[in-house]
């Protein structure tokens, strides 16, 4: 064999090869997907304004849309983190139900507003902890672990409430839902949603936690070999999702003045759908909070439009499905060009 | 009449002209070698030939008749089969099912499994591997075994032309010999082979003619494979002058205190107790066959695998076993074997790939100072001459050599003192290799300890100061690199005779 092979070239810096222009590799603060979602949202507003000019644009109705978007929106922010981190959380709806029921038992109500709020958050965190431990340190894949949590959390909610609607008797909680508590005309629930979005955006884009989430979701093995504590990161992500569920549960309590084991029904699907149409990759590693929020607003606005126009929920469901398909097709088209 | 003629093939992608008027002809029974650096257009050319890409312009004739290859299936029907660099096998199904994937042996949709198995066994025997059971799952085979299956799949069609894209990249020397035997018997039957490899010595052994691609054009054709001097081939590929690839080594061996020590480090079934010392400024090479425990040793030193015995010490302090974060904190860095799946975040920019192991350094209470992060990452990518010098671009748009620079920059930024390199030049073209060698030597000169694993013996011998020869998980010989040559090392890894 040739002893000096492979012989090769002087170590001068590589000369420029054919100049390649790569589109889409630069980070833009506002990418195409989100622009198209804003377009869809505007189109929906136009439709609303044309079909029900008096009702749709009324301040009361816009407030209603935002309020409805807030509860599912907070859940979606948590789910978005989990999906970007390479996981999935199917248990969010059930956790919301369990937290809302637990925080409204007669015993918990004795502790007043603070006790109920703490209870709601702790139940959310507790469920997230179980999810996270099973997934990060146990042998379970996220789909199975959170599916199991979905079933058992909802079961526990039914057991605690015995199927009854637990009416809130604490005035301090109920007061948060009425007009007097609005700040500049905005309900406190909507403000909390806005706060969660801002904090979520900052955490995702400006902290080591966010950066590691993206890394673990994009390539878990490479992240592990780069020295990231992947298991701890996964655990933290499910804790975060659980915490968001706890917040959302308390928002629901304020909104309905009660806790029910049927709360949060199918939230997991709405949250995942909103994240996906917002541009989050289901396989992990890429996604934005802004996209998810836009996704939630689109869905909520559709629901509102259908209600105003007295259309049935079946058509509404079909429309939602069509939008999911359309959004994913638009993304595919953009990313392969 | 040539078997295949491609004339004036042009193919553009948005912003890139990948092929610019390429001519290629292949005769029956010849091994036609295609040389070129990464990005020269080889992959695009074979994708056009296999029907995966459509040319914008140009003509393909097959046995004298003009043909179009709109799909891979149409190329397959003509008798053109491609064995890709990254094998396209389904891991969870059997060898026989993989061989007949897409053209199952079936009657009205019902698979005739027994016939498929016996025909697979025939093909495997013809390829010199009758020991592979057609019923085993492909996922349980070695890289070499998987490649044999891929080849059996090609032969399951009535194939006249086989395109092999770096078939030897994952193979051991004796497996490469077997591959060459197969190629020789195919060409004896009149099958033509288009052979792509970065290893010039292989082209000498089996090639007939060489065509050289550069920047999407054929810059040399009809070169005789056996007699064209290496210098000339490399000069054609790079358009530059040639000199020895490997940087000069320091005269005297390093006498400093070792930074990293392994004491009796072992993993059951992978490698026997190993004692190892790495000193600053030293490059130590691990030579051995695939499966001799090379990568396992690296990963165990790094904490990615937990040792069953022994310990690793850095500066005399033992590391927590099986903990990557502990190894990273102690200043150990690993550039793993599979760059894309084990090292890089392909969706992210180079900057973020570089900073990912040092994020806490740029953060206060978890809050990132992105300006500092970027400045520090850029300092290191510029220092390593990342090309093009635009580290904010996605790492996936860079060539293999520059992706490897991103991995090295990650550990330089972290301030690593022990660098574990597993196949650092795999998939890196010949021009960029010399540059990487120079970088690795410079790091050693600056006081980093380097432990190098490579399947290419010339690389280990040319770059390392000291070489450990491994056979079946056991160090059979240790010597300064200048006392060894390829024959000696090959004897050792084959025979294991202690010196």
CA atoms within 13 A on the CB side of A271: 32
Residues 202-231 on A with a CB inside 8 Å of B are 206-209, 211-212, 214-215, 218-219, 221-229
- Is the bond into A83 cis (omega within 30 degrees of 0)? no
Specify the pLDDT at position B240: 56
What is the distance between the alpha carbons of residues B28 and A191, in angstroms, rounded to a whole number? 75
Specify the pLDDT at position A2: 41
Specify the pLDDT at position A28: 44
Q: Which of A320-334, B158-172, B274-288, B418-432 has the lowest mean pLDDT?
A: A320-334
Specify the pLDDT at position A31: 61
Q: What is the mean pLDDT of chain B?
A: 87
Specify the pLDDT at position B87: 65
Classify domain B260-494 at the CATH class level: alpha beta
Q: Are B457 and B490 in contact (CB under 8 A)?
A: yes
Specify the pLDDT at position A253: 95
Q: How sure is the predictor about B498, in pLDDT bands with cuts at 50, 70 and 90?
A: very low
> Which percentage of chain B shows pLDDT scores above 70?
95
Nearest partner of B193 among B150, B223, B163, B157, judged by Cα: B163
Flag whether residue A282 sits within 8 Å of chain B, measured between CB atoms. no
Q: Which of A65-74, B170-179, B392-401 has the lowest mean pLDDT?
A: B170-179
Nearest partner of B403 among B338, B459, B448, B455, judged by Cα: B338
Asked if B334's CB is within 8 angstroms of A9's CB, the reply is no
The residue among B431, B455, B456 with the most chain A CBs within 10 A of its CB, best to mutate, is: B431
Q: How sure is the predictor about A289, in pLDDT bands with cuts at 50, 70 and 90?
A: very high
Specify the pLDDT at position A10: 38
Q: Which of B242, B304, B432 sits opposite A14 (nearest CB)?
A: B432
- pLDDT exceeds cutoff 80 at B461: yes
Give this complex's ipTM.
0.80
Q: What average pLDDT does this structure show over A71-75?
A: 97
How do residues B339-351 score in pLDDT, each as one tens digit?
Answer: 988 999 998 999 9
How do residues A135-147 score in pLDDT, each as one tens digit?
Answer: 999 889 999 999 9
**A-chain residue closest to B245, CA distance:** A8
Specify the pLDDT at position B398: 87
Flag whether residue A6 sits within 8 Å of chain B, measured between CB atoms. yes
Distance, in angstroms, between B300 CA and closest chain A CA?
A: 12
Q: Which of B11-20, B307-316, B412-421, B440-449 has the lowest mean pLDDT?
A: B11-20
- pLDDT exceeds cutoff 80 at B291: no
Q: How sure is the predictor about B15, in pLDDT bands with cuts at 50, 70 and 90?
A: low
How do residues B121-133 score in pLDDT, each as one tens digit?
Answer: 999 988 888 889 9
- pLDDT exceeds cutoff 60 at B496: no
B238 contacts on A by Cβ (under 8 Å): 9
Q: Which of A8, A214, A218 sits opposite B433 (nearest CB)?
A: A8
How do residues A290-316 score in pLDDT, each as one tens digit?
Answer: 999 999 999 999 889 888 888 877 888
**B-chain residue closest to A203, CA distance:** B367
Q: How sure is the predictor about A13, in pLDDT bands with cuts at 50, 70 and 90?
A: very low
> Which percentage of chain B shows pLDDT scores above 90?
46
Specify the pLDDT at position A334: 56
What's the whole-model pTM score?
A: 0.78
Q: Are B149 and B99 in contact (CB under 8 A)?
A: yes
Fold held by A33-336:
ABC transporter involved in vitamin B12 uptake, BtuC (1.10.3470)
What is the distance between the alpha carbons of residues A94 and B371, in angstroms, rounded to a whole number? 42
What is the distance between the alpha carbons of residues B435 and A9, in angstroms, rounded to a whole number? 9
Question: Residue B100 to residues A67, B94, B105, B440: CA-CA distances in angstroms?
Answer: 58, 10, 7, 45
Fold held by B4-239:
Rossmann fold (3.40.50)
Q: How sure is the predictor about A70, in pLDDT bands with cuts at 50, 70 and 90?
A: very high
In chain B, what are the domain boundaries? Answer: 4-239, 260-494
Asked if B324's CB is within 8 angstroms of A225's CB, the reply is yes
Distance, in angstroms, between B64 CA and closest chain A CA?
A: 34
Residue B32 in 3-state DSSP? strand
A8 contacts on B by Cβ (under 8 Å): 234, 242, 244-245, 430-431, 433-434
Q: What average pLDDT does this structure show over A71-89?
A: 97
The residue among A3, A9, A284 with the most chain B CBs within 10 A of its CB, best to mutate, is: A9
In degrees rounded to 5, what are phi and psi of residue B65? -105, 135
Q: What average pLDDT does this structure show over B195-200?
A: 82
């Amino acid at each position: 064999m040739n002893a000096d092979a492979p012989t090769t070239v002087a170590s001068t810096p590589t000369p420029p090869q054919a100049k390649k222009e790569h589109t889409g590799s630069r980070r833009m603060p506002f990418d195409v997907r989100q622009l198209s979602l804003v377009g869809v949202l505007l189109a929906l507003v136009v439709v609303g304004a044309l079909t029900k000019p008096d009702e749709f644009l009324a301040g009361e109705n816009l407030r209603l849309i935002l309020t409805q978007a807030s509860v599912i929106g907070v859940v979606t922010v948590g789910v978005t983190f989990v999906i970007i981190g390479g996981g999935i959380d199917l248990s969010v709806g059930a956790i919301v139900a369990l937290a809302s029921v637990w925080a409204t038992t007669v015993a918990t109500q004795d502790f007043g507003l603070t006790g109920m709020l703490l209870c709601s958050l702790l139940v959310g965190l507790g469920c997230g902890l179980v999810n996270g431990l099973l997934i990060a340190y146990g042998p379970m894949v996220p789909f199975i672990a959170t599916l199991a949590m979905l079933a058992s959390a909802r079961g526990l909610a039914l057991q605690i409430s015995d199927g009854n609607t637990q009416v809130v008797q604490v005035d301090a909680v109920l007061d948060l839902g009425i007009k007097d508590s609005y700040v500049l005309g905005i309900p406190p629930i909507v403000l909390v949603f806005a706060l969660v979005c801002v904090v979520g955006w900052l955490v995702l884009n400006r902290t080591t936690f966010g950066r590691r989430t993206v890394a673990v979701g994009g390539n878990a093995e490479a992240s592990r070999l780069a020295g990231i504590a992947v298991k701890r990161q996964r655990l933290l992500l499910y804790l975060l999702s659980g915490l968001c569920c706890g917040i959302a549960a308390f928002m629901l309590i304020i909104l309905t003045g009660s806790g029910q084991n049927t709360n949060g029904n199918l939230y997991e699907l709405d949250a995942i759908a909103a994240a996906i149409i917002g541009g989050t990759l289901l396989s992990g590693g890429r996604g934005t909070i802004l996209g998810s929020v836009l996704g939630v607003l689109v869905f909520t606005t559709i629901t509102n439009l259908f209600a105003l126009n007295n259309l049935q929920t079946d058509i509404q469901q079909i429309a939602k499905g069509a939008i999911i398909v359309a959004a994913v097709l638009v993304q595919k088209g953009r990313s392969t060009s | 009449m040539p078997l295949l003629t491609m004339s004036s093939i042009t193919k553009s992608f948005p912003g890139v002209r990948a092929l610019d008027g390429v001519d290629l002809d292949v005769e029956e029974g010849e091994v036609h070698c295609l040389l070129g650096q990464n990005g020269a257009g080889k992959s695009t050319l074979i994708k056009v030939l296999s029907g995966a890409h459509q040319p914008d312009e140009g003509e393909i004739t097959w046995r004298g008749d003009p043909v179009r290859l709109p799909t891979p299936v149409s190329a397959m029907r003509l008798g053109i089969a491609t064995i890709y660099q990254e094998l396209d096998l389904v891991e969870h199904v059997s060898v026989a099912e993989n061989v007949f994937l897409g053209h199952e042996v079936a009657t009205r949709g019902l698979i005739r499994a027994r016939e498929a198995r016996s025909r697979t066994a025939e093909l495997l025997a013809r390829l010199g591997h009758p020991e592979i059971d057609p019923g085993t799952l492909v996922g349980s085979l070695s890289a070499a075994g998987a490649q044999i299956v891929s080849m059996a799949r090609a032969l399951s069609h009535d194939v006249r032309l086989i395109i092999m894209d770096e078939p030897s990249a994952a193979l051991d020397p004796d497996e490469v010999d077997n591959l060459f035997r197969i190629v020789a018997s195919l060409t004896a039957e009149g099958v033509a082979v288009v052979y792509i490899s970065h290893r010039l010595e292989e082209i000498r052994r089996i090639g007939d003619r060489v065509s050289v691609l550069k920047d999407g054009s054929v810059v040399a054709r009809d070169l005789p494979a056996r007699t064209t001097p290496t210098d000339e081939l490399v000069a054609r590929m790079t358009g530059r002058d040639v000199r020895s690839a490997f940087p000069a080594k320091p005269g005297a061996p390093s006498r400093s205190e070792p930074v990293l020590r392994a004491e009796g480090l072992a993993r059951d079934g992978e490698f026997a107790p190993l004692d190892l010392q790495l000193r600053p400024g030293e490059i130590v090479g691990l030579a051995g066959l695939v499966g001799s425990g090379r990568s396992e040793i690296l990963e165990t030193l790094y904490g990615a695998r937990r040792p069953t015995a022994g310990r690793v010490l850095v500066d005399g302090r033992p590391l927590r076993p099986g903990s990557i974060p502990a190894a990273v904190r102690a200043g150990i860095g690993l550039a793993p074997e599979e760059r894309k799946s084990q090292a890089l975040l392909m969706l992210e920019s180079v900057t973020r790939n570089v900073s990912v192991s040092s994020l806490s350094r740029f953060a206060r209470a978890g809050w990132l100072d992105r300006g500092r992060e970027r400045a520090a990452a850029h300092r290191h990518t510029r220092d390593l001459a990342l090309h093009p010098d635009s580290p904010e671009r996605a790492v996936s748009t860079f060539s293999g050599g520059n992706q490897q620079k991103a991995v090295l920059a990650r550990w330089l930024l972290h301030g690593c003192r022990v660098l574990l390199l597993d196949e650092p030049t795999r998939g890196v073209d010949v021009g960029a290799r010399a540059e990487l060698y120079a970088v690795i030597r410079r790091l050693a000169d600056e006081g980093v300890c380097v432990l190098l694993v490579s399947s290419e013996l010339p690389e280990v011998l040319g770059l390392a100061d000291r070489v450990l020869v491994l056979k079946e998980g056991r160090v059979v010989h240790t010597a300064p690199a200048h006392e060894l040559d390829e024959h000696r090392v090959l004897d050792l890894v084959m025979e294991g005779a202690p010196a």
